[in-house]
Amino acid sequence: MTTPPALTLVQTFLKDAFQTNLPISENRELSAGVAKHVAGNERLTPAEQADLYRRQFFLRHIESLLEDHPGIAHYLGEEGFEAFATAYLAAYPPSTPSLRDLGAGVESFISSWSGIEEPYRPLLREMAHYELVFVDLFDAPDVPSPDLTLLGSLPQEVWLSCPFVFSPLLRLVEYRYPVPELRLQIRNGEVGRDLPMADHASYAVFRQTDVVRFERLTSPAFRLLKALTKGCSLVSACEQLNSTLTPAEADEVEAGLGQWCSRWAGAGWILAVDQNGASLDTSGPRSP
């Protein structure tokens, strides 16, 4: 297929015109350019006609960003979020057919955008990360539920010595601010816009029965789970962990290990125990 020259010219020109953040009629040079391609009529000038599409570009994409990022929108406020989203769209123009990919650059944009008050930047960056995890998990491909009867029937030595197969619908995340809880409170209208207290915490974020949920984990449980998701057996994960545990944490691991494994399997995080380590699939969840 050859590239049609006239069509290329008009599409390339209008693509840029539709992404300018001021009305086209306010830019004389752009208006003149639009008039070469767009006919206009007795009711609307070429610039006014093109501007209908320009306005739609911003309305549609800002609305989509708002839907996926209620946490960021809450702390920036209505006007602040509109300014943020407008600047974001200029820096990261939508590039895929799916609107769900629109926010892919939000976290890194927050790191550099000058419109954010400095104390809020780490909070908003973490909120962006969590909201993207949320979007990602929402309609990710389904995975079969674990066979809990089979898992429960496995001998203890298998549980101890073989790596686990984890659900790809599980993400392990650590935040300085409790963004999963904050986002929930924002959704329920229970939290103000003041900068919250930092509260370092670790979470498992996962999809269960079609709902994206989070669970706060203790530090030893999170570290153990992280080692396991990297393909370690329970024994080797515990060995790795041992040297880093305080005595109290060591007690916690010893007391909680059985319950944790049972809970993680019950929640669908552990899908299977890989009794053939050679075929171990480590392409599961990635940690931040």
Partner 1 sequence: MSSQVPRMGLPDLGVGVGLRIPHYGVIFEQNPAMDWFEIISENFMGRGGMPRRNLDKALSRYPVVQHGVSLSIGSVDPLDKTYLSKLKDLLKHTRSPWVSDHLCWAGVSGTHLHDLLPLPYTEEAVRHVAARVKVVQDYLEAPFALENVSSYLTYTNSTMTEWEFVSAVVEEADCGLLLDVNNIYVSAYNHGFNALDYVRGVPHHRVVQYHLAGHTNHGAYIIDTHSGHVIDEVWDLYKQAVQLTGPVSTLIEWDDDIPAFEILAAEAEKARVLRTSACQKKNLDTTRNAPFRLEGAL
Residue of 139, 155, 159, 140 lying closest to 265 (CA atoms): 159
Q: Which amino acid is at 274?
A: D
Number of residues in contact with partner 1 under rule CB under 8 A = 49
User: Scanning the structure block, which residue is given the tokens 């909120």?
Assistant: 127
Q: Which of residues 17-36 bind partner 1 (CB under 8 A)?
A: 18-19, 35-36
The span of 44-52, 170-178, 227-235, 264-272 binding partner 1 (CB under 8 A) equals 44-52
Residue 52 binding partner 1, by CB under 8 A: yes
- 57 binding partner 1? (CB under 8 A): yes
State the minimum distance, in angstroms, from the CB of residue 51 to partner 1: 9
Question: Cα(179)–Cα(184) distance, rounded to whole angstroms?
Answer: 8
| Closer residue to partner 1, CB minimum distance, 90 or 198 | 90
Q: What angle do CA 169, 271, 257 make, to 5 degrees?
A: 100
111: alpha, beta or left? (left if phi > 0; alpha if psi -120 to 50)? alpha
Does 226 bind partner 1 (CB under 8 A)? Our answer is: no
In the region spanning residues 165 to 224, those forming contacts with partner 1, defined by CB under 8 A, are 207, 210-211
Q: Nearest approach, Cβ of 267 to partner 1 (angstroms)?
A: 16
Least distance (Å) from partner 1 to the CB of residue 138?
6
Q: Is 246 in the site for partner 1 (CB under 8 A)?
A: no
CB atoms closer than 10 angstroms to residue 146: 20
Of 73-132, which residues contact partner 1 (CB under 8 A)?
Answer: 93-100
Q: What is the DSSP string of 269-282?
A: SEEEE-S-GGG---
For residue 285, the 8-state DSSP code is -
Query: Is the CA virtual torsion 150, 156, 161, 165 positive or negative?
Result: positive
Which residues are at the interface with partner 1 (CB under 8 A)?
A: 1, 3-8, 10-12, 14-15, 18-19, 35-41, 43-44, 46, 49-50, 52-53, 56-57, 60-61, 93-100, 137-142, 207, 210-211
